[in-house]
Amino acid sequence: AVVVCNLDGRILLYNSRARLQFRTLAQGSTTGTGGALIGLGRSIFSILERNQIDHALEVVHQRLQKGAGAAIANFITTARGGQLLRVQMVPVLSIADDSPENDISGYVLTVENITRSLEQESRRDQVLQSLTDGSRGSLANIRVAVGNLMDYPDMEAAVRERFVGIVSDEVVRMSQRLDQTMNEFADSLKTRWPLEDVLGIDIIAAAQRRIEEQLGLPSKTEEIDEALWLRAESFSLVFSICCLAFRLLEHYQIKELRFRLQPFGKLAYLDVIWSGQAMSSETFYTWETEPMQVGTENSPLSLRDVINRHGGEVWYQRDKAAHCAFFRLVLPVAIPETQAESEAIDASQMRPEYYDFDLFHFRDQSIDLDRPLADLSYTVFDTETTGLEPAAGDEIIQIGAVRIVNNRMLRQENFNELVDPERLLRPEGIRIHGITDDMVRGQPSIDAVLPAFHEFCSDTVLVAHNAAFDMRFLQLKEERTGIIFSQPVLDTLLLSAVLHANQDSHQLEKIAERLGISIEGRHNALGDAVATSEVFLKMLPLLEQMGISTLRQALEASQKTYFARVKY
C-alpha cells in the first residue's frame, strides 16, 4: 500500500491497494460498518501514530543533512485496530526555486500488514519448541533403556522385554509427535508461498533440466504457448512436476516425458505426457495426497497442497487415440494489473484519486467561514427514512454520502449504510425508496452507524438537498448517541433559490434539468448524494458569478431565502 502525504499528514494520493488494506484496518466505530478513514484530505494520523511519523521524519531530516545515499526511515507500528504494520518513509523534496536544499514538502509511505506473517512465525516457533521439548523426555528414556540392555546382556527375559517395550513406546510417541509437527509445519509453509508472474515455458524448462539431471529421463515439448504467463510459485510447482516424473519412472519405467502448455480462458493447461501402461485412479489419488519425493529429496507437502495453493486443479487422463496418458495441471494465468483492475471496477474507478502536488504546501486549519468555497472539502449526504415526520417517530433506514475535495467528487470515497430502524416500514415509503423490512432487519442500529458517519464527515462542510429535513433526523439522535454534527451545512435547495429565485420548483430533478445534469439511481441515499454532489459542483461557478465566493457569503445568502424558514 502506498500513501503520499504533506507535512501536516494530509493524504494527497493513495493507490488501490491502500484503499483495500486500510479498509481492513478501519478502527473504532467505522469497523462495524465497513468504513475506512483513508481519503484525500484526511489525516494519516487517524490510522498511524503521529509520534512515530514525526520520529521517522526527524530520522529522514538527519540523513539528508549528512548526505546519506538513502534518506529513508523504517519502523514497525501498531494500527489502532491492533494490526502490526511495517512502514517505510521516503521524503518528497521541494523543487521550488526559493526552497532550501533538501527541503521536505511531504513524504511517501509504503505500508505492509505483517500481522499474519508474524503470527505464522510465532506458530512455527511454538511447533518446533514443542517438538524439541517433547523429544528430550523420549530420548532420555530410550537412552536409559538402551544403556541397561547393553550393560546387562544377561538380564532376565521379562526385564529385557520391559526395556525393549520402553524403547518401542517412546519411538512410537516420537514418530507421532514428528508427524503432527510436520503436518502443522506444512500448513505454515503453504500460507507463506508468494505467487508471482512467471513465463510458463520457464517453468517447463526448469522442470526438464532437473528431471534430466536427477532422474536421467529425457523430455521434450509440444504445443507450447511461449507467451503464456502463469501466476505461480515456481519452486513448489517445479518440484511437483519432478515428483510426478520420479514416480512414473519408479513405478512404470517410462522412457520419455513430453510437456504441453496451452491457455484456456483465464486458466492454463500444463500437461505432463507419457506413453506406456495405464494407471488406476486409486494410484493417482495416493500420489496426489502423499508427501512428495524426488529421489532422496523429500517434502512435507503433497501435490494437492501445491495445487490448492495455486487455486488450481490436477487430474489424470488417458488418451486412447494417441496411445498416451497425461497429468493435467490447471493453473491461473497471470493477468496484467491494469486489466485485472478494469474487470473489477469500471473505467472511472481505475483512476487514482489525487491532489495537485502544489497542495503539499497546504496547512491544516479548522473550517474558516471566509475561505473560498472552491478551497473547502465537503461531505454531500442524503438519508432514506421510514416516513416524513422525524418528530413523530420516523427513523433513518439508510445514510449515503460522497466527498468533494479539490472541486472534484470522489466516488470511491463514499459512505453507504442501511440502518435497522427497529420498527416496521411504511408501505408508501417502500414504494419510493425500494427498501423493505427484510433488507434492514439485522443491519446495524443508528447507535453504530451514526458515529461512523460522524467520523466520515470530520473536517468537512456538510451538503444536502433540503438539508433541514435530514439534519432534523440527526439532531433528534443527539441525546441517544451523543453524536453532534456541529459543522456548517449548505443546502442545494436554498442555493437553488439564490441562483434561480424566479423558478417555481427547486426539486432536485428540476435543478439538475436546469443545470444539464442527468440523474440516475434516485431515491437511494447514495444515488441521491451523488446527484446532489453533481448539482452542487455545477452551482459553485454560478455562485461565484453572483459574487458569492466564500462559505460565509453562501450561508448568509441561503438564510435570506423563503425556503430557509421551513421547519421540521
* pLDDT confidence bin for 234, thresholds 50/70/90: confident
Contact status, residue 333 vs residue 227, Cβ threshold 8 Å: no
Pick the residue with more confidence: 172 or 356? 172
Sheet strands (E) in 28-144? 73-78, 84-93, 104-113
Say which range, 48-52, 170-174, 341-345, 417-421, has the weakest mean pLDDT.
341-345
Bigger pLDDT: 97 or 224?
A: 224
Strands 313-319 and 219-224: unpaired
Question: Of 5, 234, 25, 9, nearest to 114 (Cα)?
Answer: 25
pLDDT band at 176 (very low <50, low <70, confident <90, very high): confident
Tens of pLDDT, residues 467-482: 989 999 999 999 999 9
| CA dihedral over 50, 52, 56, 62, signed as positive or negative | positive
The three-class DSSP label of residue 78 is strand
Note whether 521 and 400 are within 8 A (CB).
no
More confident residue, 89 or 113: 89
* Residue 391: predicted pLDDT: 81
Residue 405's pLDDT band, with cuts at 50, 70 and 90, is very high
Long-range contacts of the stretch 558-566 (C-beta < 8 A, 24+) = 558/490, 558/491, 558/494, 558/495, 558/497, 558/498, 559/494, 561/494, 561/497, 561/498, 561/501, 562/497, 563/493, 563/494, 563/497, 563/506, 564/494, 566/468
Q: What is the CATH architecture of 197-333?
A: 2-Layer Sandwich (3.30)
Mean pLDDT for the stretch of residues 561-568: 65
Q: Taking 80 as the threshold, does the pLDDT of residue 126 lie above it?
A: no
Confidence tier at 211 by pLDDT (50, 70, 90): very high
Look at the domain 2-113 and name its fold: Beta-Lactamase (3.30.450)
- Is the pLDDT confidence value at 347 over 80? no
At 125, the pLDDT band (50, 70, 90 cuts) reads low
Give the confidence band of 242 by pLDDT, cuts at 50, 70, 90.
Answer: very high
For residue 484, count other CB atoms closer than 10 A to its CB: 11
Confidence of residue 339 (pLDDT cuts 50, 70, 90): very low
Across the range 305-325, mean pLDDT stands at: 87
Nearest to 238 by CA among 227, 249, 226, 230: 230
Helix (H) or strand (E) holding 542, with range, is helix 525-545
- pLDDT for res 338: 39
CB atoms within 10 A of CB 263: 15
Distance CA 164, CA 145 (A): 7
Which range (299-308, 346-355, 428-437, 438-447) has the least confidence?
346-355
Query: Which of the four pLDDT bands, split at 50, 70 and 90, describes residue 312?
Result: confident
Indicate the helix (H) or strand (E) that contains 197.
strand 196-199
Alpha-carbon torsion 468, 474, 480, 484, what sign? negative
Q: Report residue 349's pLDDT band, with 50, 70 and 90 as the boundaries.
A: very low
pTM here is 0.54
Kindly compute the dihedral angle of the four CA atoms of residues 95, 97, 101, 106, in this order, to the nearest 10 degrees: -30
345 pLDDT higher than 50: no
Angular region, 119: left φ>0, alpha ψ -120 to 50, beta rest = alpha
Q: What is the pLDDT of residue 365?
A: 47
Task: Point out which residues pair with 230 in neighbouring strands.
Answer: 198, 333
Domain boundaries, the chain: 2-113, 118-192, 197-333, 365-565
Residue 353 has pLDDT above 60, yes or no: no
Residue carrying C-alpha cell 488501490:
16
CA proximity to 525, closest of 429, 461, 459: 429
Q: Which residues contact 88 (CB under 8 A, 6 or more apart)?
A: 72, 73, 74, 109, 110
Mean pLDDT of the chain, nearest integer: 83
Rounded to 10 degrees, what is the CA torsion of 372, 378, 382, 388?
Answer: -50
User: Quick check: 551 and 507 in contact, CB under 8 A?
Assistant: no
Least confident of 63-72, 352-361, 400-409: 352-361
- Averaged pLDDT, 505-528: 85
Over residues 439-465, the mean pLDDT reads 93
**pLDDT over 50 (residue 269):** yes
Phi, psi dihedrals of residue 105, rounded to the nearest 5°: -110, -10
What is the rounded CA–CA span in Å between residue 243 and residue 297? 10
pLDDT of residue 117: 66
* pLDDT band at 449; cut points 50, 70, 90: very high
Conformational region of residue 223, where left means phi above 0, alpha means psi within -120 to 50, and beta covers everything else: left
Which one of 55, 61, 500, 523 is the catalytic residue? 523
9, β-bridge pairs? none
Q: What is the CATH number of domain 365-565?
A: 3.30.420.10
The separation between CA 71 and the C-alpha centre of its own chain, rounded to angstroms, equals 29
- Tell me the mean pLDDT in the region 318-344: 72
What is the pLDDT, as a whole number, of residue 186? 56
Largest CA distance in the chain: 119
Share of the chain above pLDDT 70, in %: 84
Half-sphere exposure of 68 (CA within 13 A, CB side): 14
Q: What is the CA radius of gyration of the chain?
A: 33
- pLDDT, position 563: 72
Residues 313/307, Cβ–Cβ less than 8 Å = yes
Q: Is 465 a catalytic residue?
A: no
Q: Average of pLDDT values for 162-167?
A: 91
- Tell me which of 189-193, 347-351, 377-381, 449-453 is least confident: 347-351
Q: Which pLDDT value is given to residue 49?
A: 81
Average the pLDDT over 97-114 and give the result. 84
- Fold of the CATH domain 118-192: Helix Hairpins (1.10.287)
Cα–Cα dist 560/141, whole Å = 94
The closest alpha carbon to 459, from 354, 368, 362, 559, belongs to 368
